[in-house]
Structure 1
Amino acid sequence: MEAVMACWEIEQSLQSLTGVSPGEGTSATMSDDEDDQVDSDANLFDEGMEGHDSMGFGPLIPTESERSLMERVRQELKHELKQGYKEKIVDIREEILRKRRAGKLPGDTTSVLKAWWQSHSKWPYPTEEDKARLVQETGLQLKQINNWFINQRKRNWHSNPSTSTVLKSKRKRYTN
């Protein structure tokens, strides 16, 4: 807010010096001598403002055109900041999306996989047809389906030793 007020004060002092209203003559450039003159006039303007406030008149209330100018300056500053930090914002956004992607699958997806798991708890190895159907139902990639089942078996084999023994004996029958 201070920056907007400072810009507004500069615009006001510039307008009082040049007699040009906001938006007119914005493409003109100043020489060094004119810069010095504006600086000294800005100091006079600031002193005048302090005196004005100390006399008890209270703060100045900007007019509609001044508020419009302040909003335009605020929008320009916002745009410049976005452009200046655009790459950093993109990097942060990508990092957030990456962190969202890494980790847990969506709840509705895992509920489909868990339902299959529970209905096939005695032999939790989906066939290629089962996997293709799960890919269609969940929208996951085949690799994600395979990884989920690998991880699920690891989680459940360690937590349920009796299931582990049953599965190992079935595996021996299928491999022999």
Structure 2
Amino acid sequence: MIETFNDTLLLEKSFTQEVDRTRAAKERATVRDTLLAIVQDARRSGDLETILTIERRFLENDRVEYVSSRAMRSSLDVALAELKIAERHLELVKDPVQYRLIDEAHSLPKRRVGGLPKDEARLFFGSHATRLLNQDKSRLDRQEKQIIEARKQNMRAGARLYEARQRQALGLGAKTGKERGRDTGMEL
């Protein structure tokens, strides 16, 4: 059985290499390089709305094109629902009066990080980065892994950009170097 498995695995590798030499595979590689560059450019732009719009398109595309199980559909549905709530928080954080209500609703230390509310937008950035990390562990080719890594970096950048908006809405200054380490929550 093991010998058959090894032979079959080698055969699969051979077919994969053969497919990768085709014109279509080379064109797909060029398209993926472009996708990667766009994802990286979104992060460098510092435009949180663009970062989230690109991520929404990835999720919507994955849901339409790649769902192969109920669990995968459920995970994508949850990610899209969380993203929709995060996008709503982007609007709320623009209005300091409205955002103070969220700040007050997240007053317990366990609901705060760095003195800021750990609201649904921040929860999305963390949970979605974890989702992408888990996806990165699956059987993907080099380019697919690079795109997922860039998306994870976008979630980290998005979290920092959102935190800056929170600080601005609450009238707090920019985060100091001392505050950038591990945060235990709100000081009492």
Query: Fold match, TM over 0.5?
Result: no
Where on the TM-score scale, by shorter chain, does this alignment land: which range?
Answer: under 0.3
Q: TM-score, normalised by structure 1?
A: 0.24
User: Which structure is larger by alpha-carbon Rg, 1 or 2?
Assistant: 1
Q: TM-score, normalised by structure 2?
A: 0.22
Higher relative contact order (CA 8 A, sep 6+): 2
